[in-house]
Amino acid sequence: MGTSVEEIKDLREKTGCGMMDCKQALKEADGDAEKAGDLLRKKGLASAARRAGRTAAQGLVDSYLHVGGKIGVLVEINCESDFVARNNEFQAFVKNIAMQIAASNPQYITREEVPEAVLQREKDILQTQAKEEGKPAAAMAKIIEGRLNKFYSEICLLEQPFIKDPKLIVRDLLADMVAKIGENIVIRRFNRYQLGENS
């Protein structure tokens, strides 16, 4: 069964994937657009890691103002093409990330960005707490590692539970978006403003 140009365009519009990828997926799915979308998503997940090195210089700067205007967020999220930047799903993703930042107040995007001094201070605090709780020395490293992961989940955007679905981590939400869109996506930077807060 042949695939029309309209069907390919529709699938491209929904997924943000390339025309040839959409054509191939529709062929494999015998023209079933939903199955083709699933196929593209599965293939995307498998190659998301490969995309991480590709240049992402397009994208959006978006804002979010929390109800009442007491918290505001500016966020820049990059993708590889202007076509994807105009994609509704990408735009919704950017808005969700801005809302996440407003609600969860992360200090950094990734755990790698946490300064060594901040990390060392936290490790010292956790070690002192664990000792005062009488935790066995043999288990200390494991306990501190677990508590450090919790610390990261509070201050690093990609480590935080997603506000709309706490079973999902923001990092997984990003990977899912990369898989769906078929391009490298990078949360580049953000600023969060809270009324009356010192900068």
Domain of residue 69, residue span: 58-110+156-194
**Helix, coil or strand: residue 150:** helix
Collapsing DSSP to helix, strand or coil, 109 comes out as coil
Give pLDDT, residue 16: 60
Which parts of 96-198 are beta strand (E)? 161-162, 165-169, 186-194
Asked if 185 and 136 touch (Cβ cutoff 8 Å), the reply is no
As a whole number of angstroms, the distance between CA 152 and CA 149 comes to 5
The reply to whether 90 and 177 lie within a common domain is yes
67 in any annotated domain: yes
Between CA 143 and CA 193 the distance in angstroms is 34
Q: What's the pLDDT score for residue 164?
A: 94
What pLDDT, on the 0 to 100 scale, is given for residue 69? 87
DSSP single-letter state for residue 95: H
Using one digit for the tens of pLDDT, what is the confidence trace for 123-161? 999 988 888 888 888 888 888 889 999 999 999 999 999
Give the model's pLDDT for residue 46: 44
Query: What pLDDT digit, counting tens, does each position of 162-176 carry?
Result: 999 999 999 989 988
Output the domain CATH number for residue 175.
3.30.479.20
Q: Are residues 40 and 129 in the same domain?
A: no
Is residue 76 within 8 Å of 55, Cβ to Cβ?
A: no
Q: What pLDDT score was predicted for residue 45?
A: 46
Q: Is residue 199 part of a domain?
A: no
Task: Give the model's pLDDT for residue 183.
Answer: 85
Model pLDDT, residue 3: 75
Contact 117, 76 (CB under 8 A): no
pLDDT surpasses 70 at 28: yes
pLDDT in tens, 48-69: 555 555 667 789 999 999 878 8
Same-domain pairing of 11 and 100: no
Q: How far apart are CA 96 and CA 39, in angstroms?
A: 25
Give the model's confidence band at 180: pLDDT under 50 very low, under 70 low, under 90 confident, else very high.
confident
User: What does the alpha-carbon distance between residue 7 and residue 72 come to, in Å, rounded to a whole number?
Assistant: 40
Retrieve residue 186's tokens.
Answer: 């990078």
164-173-144-189 Cα dihedral, nearest 10 degrees = -100
Say if 90 falls within a structural domain: yes
Quote the mean pLDDT of the chain: 86
Q: Rounded to two decimals, what is the model's pTM?
A: 0.69
Question: Counting Cβ atoms within 10 Å, is residue 164 exposed (0-12), middle (13-18) or buried (19+)?
Answer: exposed
Which has more confidence, 95 or 33? 95
pLDDT tens digit sequence for 72-81: 999 999 998 8
Q: Reduced to 3 states, what is the DSSP secondary structure of residue 115? A: coil
Please tell me whether residues 92 and 177 are part of one structural domain: yes
Provide the 10 A C-beta neighbour count for residue 132. 8
pLDDT tens-digit readout, 91-104: 999 999 999 999 99
Say if CB 147 and CB 133 are below 8 A apart. no
